[in-house]
Amino acid sequence: MDLLPQGDGYLQYYVLMVGVTAITNSISCYRDDQYLRRVYNPPNGSPAASAVTHLQCRTFATWNVAVGLVRVFAAYHIHEPAWMQMQMLTCVIGLFHFGMEAFVYKTARPSGPWFAPTIVAAIGLGWSVAQYGHYIR
């Protein structure tokens, strides 16, 4: 097995990078709550002023490991429809989650650290949709 995913194009490298980043991010979430306190930073006067708990951090960390593993495997199997679709679904779920937290539940502000996972998911999903026919033949 090659160290880096094989294939033409660059999407598989992006998916690999995002997957590895998700897995390494889980380490900080298992360790403490500082990262999540920056992401889930509700607007002033919001009823959900302290939505971040240690349990939520560990749950978020576990989610990141699962999503990261799906994306890493998808990077190495980018030409297989099931893996491509699974990594696309992780982007959809991420966008849905962060959108709901910001605009419905008001537990996050659509600014600063909230943008990082949202933009990463949007780029991954948009790129995957645009290039789906190139990778899945």
Residue 83 in any domain: the answer is yes
Residue 1 in any domain: the answer is no
**Which is more confidently placed, 90 or 137?**
90
Residue 89 in any domain: the answer is yes
What pLDDT is recorded for position 110?
Answer: 92
Q: Which of 92, 101, 105, 87 is nearest to 14 (CA)?
A: 87
Residue 60 in any domain: the answer is yes
User: Would you give the distance in Å from CA 118 to the centre of its chain?
Assistant: 8
Give me the mean pLDDT over the 35-62 stretch.
Answer: 81
What is the pLDDT of the chain when averaged over all its residues? 92
pTM for this entry: 0.91
What pLDDT is recorded for position 47?
Answer: 55
Residue 4 in any domain: the answer is no
Query: What are the respective helix, strand and coil percentages of the chain, to the nearest 5?
Result: 70, 0, 30
Residue 3 in any domain: the answer is no
What pLDDT is recorded for position 103?
Answer: 95
What pLDDT is recorded for position 129?
Answer: 99
What's the total number of domains in the chain?
1
Residue 92 in any domain: the answer is yes
Residue 49 has pLDDT above 70, yes or no: no
Residue 45 in any domain: the answer is yes
Contact yes or no for 9/134 (Cβ under 8 A) = yes
Contact yes or no for 108/37 (Cβ under 8 A) = no
- The domain containing residue 81 runs over which residues? 10-135
